[in-house]
Amino acid sequence: MRLGEHVLLWGSLVLAAFWQSGFARSRSASGACDVRGPDTQGYLPELWLELLYTQSERGLSLTELVSRARDFEASDPRDKVFALLGLANDLGDAYNRAAGLLPNYTLRKEEVYANFTKDLILMTGYLDILSAVDTFASKRLDQRKTSWTPDLDVPIATVRGLGFPRKYAASSSASVNLEALSAVPNDPSSLTLSGFVVDVVKDVADNALSYSAQLKLYTSDFHHDDAVVALWKEHVRHSQYQCPEDELLQRYIELLTAAGFALPTEFPAHPLGRIIPSRDVPSLTADFAAYWSLLDPGFLDFQDPVRTKLKAQASLGDADQFGVLAGKACHERKFFGTAQGRMGLCPRGTQSGDRIVILHGGSVPYVLREMDYGTWRFIGECYVDGIMFGEAGKMEKEEKVYRIM
């Protein structure tokens, strides 16, 4: 590695990356690391650890490269795409690529990102890149010129995505409808996708959820109420969800940890862990019980036999692990309920009346808002209980083409 006149052996850099990665993980486990602070914006880059193991044919996809590299600095933000094209393993020969997947410094940043997004979706057949759209910072939600274009110059931790890394299968179709995607080829401001409405947003929490350096989740920035307890008591336990308490609790726990779990057992093939749905984590309920016991050791907000079960499991779980999982999923998102009685996590810009839509090629549902002249605004990806694993395929549905501006 060269920096001006300075030279450093790559092996030394790798060693430092391993050391600092382990150090950051230990800090996170001890509660010293805040998901909002600079400590999470790329200690010696995680991307380097991934690239160490690309000597095989596995490599890294362009989606993963741009998602993991958005914490990096670039004097020219267009290089958040262009500088990574030579590292991707899924682009093929440059002579056969779409224009959005080739360097073109005559275009503005917004044009580069929009063309890249469209052509990446067209090439892969999936909507994974839409997980990179910033739905967290409230001041930017209404300033996006095109609501569906990720601003790759804004750092967002990859681990917070619901649709990428891919772990759900909400879409009843494996890939996008290419005919719909190409329906308006001369309009660079729109993204045309096919899908169907599965539900409507009914009630949205007033405040976005907030995560603290103590690995706790709160209902506001004032940190008065623990959100895990407050949401259960105020919105879930006595709601319209008609099912046994143990089943309702399991659904609630999976919602709170919807960003998934990094399974650490597949190193070196996946140096940062393979992301799996949290429901596949055997210790999840015990970790939840350990977290809850710090606030209510008697589990008074539950009935037997759930109360007895949680008491028994509390000593076996890891409260900090649950706190980390909940923080990744919930921080700066909102809890909401739907017209058909489902609960979920949505972007902070979501409003009552917004549609919950399954778009073909997307592994998660999306929140769309109907605008004028038959156009739609992309609000962002969401988690909706009961439709994350292909259940929507069995519903009665009306297919529609959405022109998203």
Nearest partner of 397 among 358, 344, 345, judged by Cα: 358
Q: What percentage of the chain reaches a pLDDT higher than 70? A: 81
Two structure tokens written together for 20 = 């600092």
Inform me whether the pLDDT recorded for 6 exceeds 90: yes
In eight-state DSSP terms, residue 355 is E
Tell me how far apart the alpha carbons of residues 266 and 308 are, in angstroms, rounded to a whole number: 35
pLDDT in tens, 284-339: 999 999 999 999 999 999 999 999 999 999 999 999 999 999 999 999 999 999 99
pLDDT in tens, 150-202: 999 888 877 889 999 899 999 867 688 777 776 666 678 899 999 999 999 99
Using only C-alpha atoms, what is the Rg of the chain?
22
Tell me how far apart the alpha carbons of residues 347 and 232 are, in angstroms, rounded to a whole number: 20
Q: CB under 8 Å to 199, separation ≥6 — which residues?
A: 338, 339, 340, 342, 355, 356, 384, 387
Beta strand pairing status for 333-338 and 2-3?
unpaired
Q: Are 211 and 225 in contact (CB under 8 A)?
A: no
pTM exceeding 0.85: yes
Domain ranges of the chain: 11-168, 209-331
For range 98-127, the mean pLDDT: 94
For range 21-37, the mean pLDDT: 49
- With cut-offs at 50, 70 and 90, classify the pLDDT of residue 139: low
Q: Are 363 and 163 in contact (CB under 8 A)?
A: yes
